Structure 1
Amino acid sequence: MKLKSYFLLVVLVCIFFVTKGQNIKSLEAVSKQDANPENQAIIYGSFVQRLGFSSGGFAQDIRIMNVETKEIFSFRVKPIFKSAKENAFCFYIKPGSYKILNYWWTESKWYGGKMFTEYIFKGIESSKVADKLKKGEIQVNNLEQYSFRVTDSSVHYLGTWHFDKELVSFSNNKEQLDITIQTEYQKINWVQAKPEIPE
């Protein structure tokens, strides 16, 4: 029975992505042996997830869009098999302007997991967007997405992403993260990284 449930879950996930019709590219993780980037950029920060231990072994992702090229990218903010409430992230990215699209996460259930895709907008809880639009309390034109900009051959600190609540927020804790991240990635100059907190 568990195998059947798992197979059904896999099929549903595949159908979801195919019907979306979007080519989502995964950002490449920075290796612990890598040095400061040339002709590309690095983004890093810390992510506070919605769930703690109840997230099970499921991964969680953020999807962003390059404003100029309209390409959609995904990057992992909670690794598989980790239940820590807060995790650091560090990825290569093309230079450009980006908007945060959504937060993709799975809640552990007895039958496997329940997936959620939350579209992120400024000043509004993700679960209330559809209802407020339906009631006419907000208009599509008034919805604003968080954005950030990345320049070539540079390292950008994107802040601490507080996604533990539906009304998300971002804070600057660069000094604290730099202390821990430099022990793992010793060849990158974190001190000179440019803060670029989404706004």
Structure 2
Amino acid sequence: MCAWSALTTAALAQQAPAKKAYEEVMPTFPGGMPGLMQVVRDNIRYPASALKDEVSGRVVVQFTVDTLGNATNVRVSQGVRADLDAEATRLAGLFNGWTPAWQAGRKVPVLYTVPITFSIKDAPVSTALVADSLDVTPAVNKVIAPIMPGWAAGKDALPADKGVVYGVFIQRLGFSSGGIGQYVRLYHLGTGRVMNILVKPVMKSRKDNEFCVALPPGRYALQAYQYNGAVDNIRKSRRAGAVAATRYTFTVEAGQLQYVGTWHFEQAGPPRFTDDKAVTDEHLRDKFDKLPFGAARTTLPK
């Protein structure tokens, strides 16, 4: 996951005159470079923001091994972006316990330069959202996913701490729903929270139904479709890869009204998402007369 090599080392203390012979001993870390690698393996926290954006890269850090054997004055000499740079800086600050360098019979501080490589494919399973990590299995399905309440008609203002999303859902065809409600389970990629939105109301037989619901801000993945006792995973493909390659995602912004499209689930297999905003707005204006449909942003799952 993380690779190191000492690129440069330089004694910071003033050197004795060249004509005077003395012994130089460089600092050593317990276990050498493998020991440093173990420190990172045991302590790395791959930033959730970098995982979400699928960012990898190498951060080069410099630090001083002081006369007490601690890593001090850590700085980034070659960065990737703020979140990875900050994590590399934090990790370098844990490189303590060195045997200090010696020069001319005394301990001296030495500058060390180390590259730390971040790779999503090697990120810890506990933090990485890999290809099948969102699949609904019997164990995952035991997670209680709260049903987010629908937006109440007549509310005067959009909530400052949530975004309101709306669209149309076309349910699976070829069977009788029996009046049972249907849900789409969402996964918040930032917090890991799961939640359901009601996309086919109880005791409604129409194949297409509008939905309008307030959600906490952040990026969401469509996880599963629940209907008539069945649970279908919502996926683009079965191949391995990052969530963006296997899941449909969309982003919710606080204080905003967002149109998320017509969700076509009428056939088995990957769903389709179409932009029918003008028609949907016309249908919903009378019911939600306080919502600013004209200013709504279009954010179809991709």
Same fold (TM over 0.5): yes
1:161 is the counterpart of 2:263: yes
- 1:4 counterpart residue number: none
Query: Which residues of structure 2 form unaligned runs of 5+?
Result: 1-136
Deviation at 1:26, TM superposition (A): 1.6
- 2:119 counterpart residue number: none
Greater relative contact order: 1 or 2 (C-alpha under 8 angstroms, separation 6 or more)? 1
1:30 to 151, 156, 164: 151
- 2:294 counterpart residue number: 191
1:53-92 pair list within 5 angstroms: 54-92=176-214
2-side partners of 1:20 and 1:197: how far apart?
Answer: 26
1-side partners of 2:140 and 2:221: how far apart?
Answer: 22
- TM superposition score normalised by structure 1: 0.76
Deviation at 1:173, TM superposition (A): 0.2
| Letter of the structure 2 residue corresponding to residue 120 of structure 1 | I
| Letter of the structure 1 residue corresponding to residue 156 of structure 2 | A
- 1:147 counterpart residue number: 249
- 1:182 counterpart residue number: 285
1-side partners of 2:176 and 2:184: how far apart?
Answer: 19
Runs of 4+ in 1 over 2 A off after TM superposition: 16-21, 138-143
Counterparts in 2 of 1:19 and 1:157: CA distance versus 1, 3 Å: closer
- 1:7 counterpart residue number: none
1-side partners of 2:218 and 2:145: how far apart?
Answer: 17
| Kept in 1: contact 2:219–2:252 (CA 8 A) | yes
| Letter of the structure 1 residue corresponding to residue 252 of structure 2 | V
| Kept in 2: contact 1:41–1:155 (CA 8 A) | yes
| Kept in 2: contact 1:36–1:155 (CA 8 A) | no
Deviation at 1:25, TM superposition (A): 1.9
- 1:117 counterpart residue number: 231
| Kept in 1: contact 2:166–2:213 (CA 8 A) | yes
| Higher Rg of the two aligned structures | 2
Deviation at 1:23, TM superposition (A): 3.2
1:40-59 pair list within 5 angstroms: 40-51=162-173, 54-59=176-181
Counterparts in 2 of 1:152 and 1:19: CA distance versus 1, 3 Å: closer
| Letter of the structure 2 residue corresponding to residue 100 of structure 1 | L
Q: What is the alpha-carbon root mean square deviation over aligned residues?
A: 2.1
1:10-35 Cα offsets, whole Å, 9 max, x none, are xxxxxx98984423122121111113
| Kept in 2: contact 1:59–1:105 (CA 8 A) | yes
Counterparts in 2 of 1:19 and 1:150: CA distance versus 1, 3 Å: closer
1-side partners of 2:144 and 2:170: how far apart?
Answer: 27
| Letter of the structure 2 residue corresponding to residue 27 of structure 1 | M
- 1:12 counterpart residue number: none
| Paired residues, number | 163
Deviation at 1:140, TM superposition (A): 6.5
Query: Which residues of structure 1 form unaligned runs of 5+?
Result: 1-15, 107-114, 130-137
2-side partners of 1:149 and 1:19: how far apart?
Answer: 23
Name the one with the larger helix percent: 1
Counterparts in 2 of 1:99 and 1:19: CA distance versus 1, 3 Å: closer
- 1:102 counterpart residue number: 224
- TM superposition score normalised by structure 2: 0.51
Q: Percent identity?
A: 28
- 1:170 counterpart residue number: 273
| Kept in 1: contact 2:173–2:267 (CA 8 A) | no
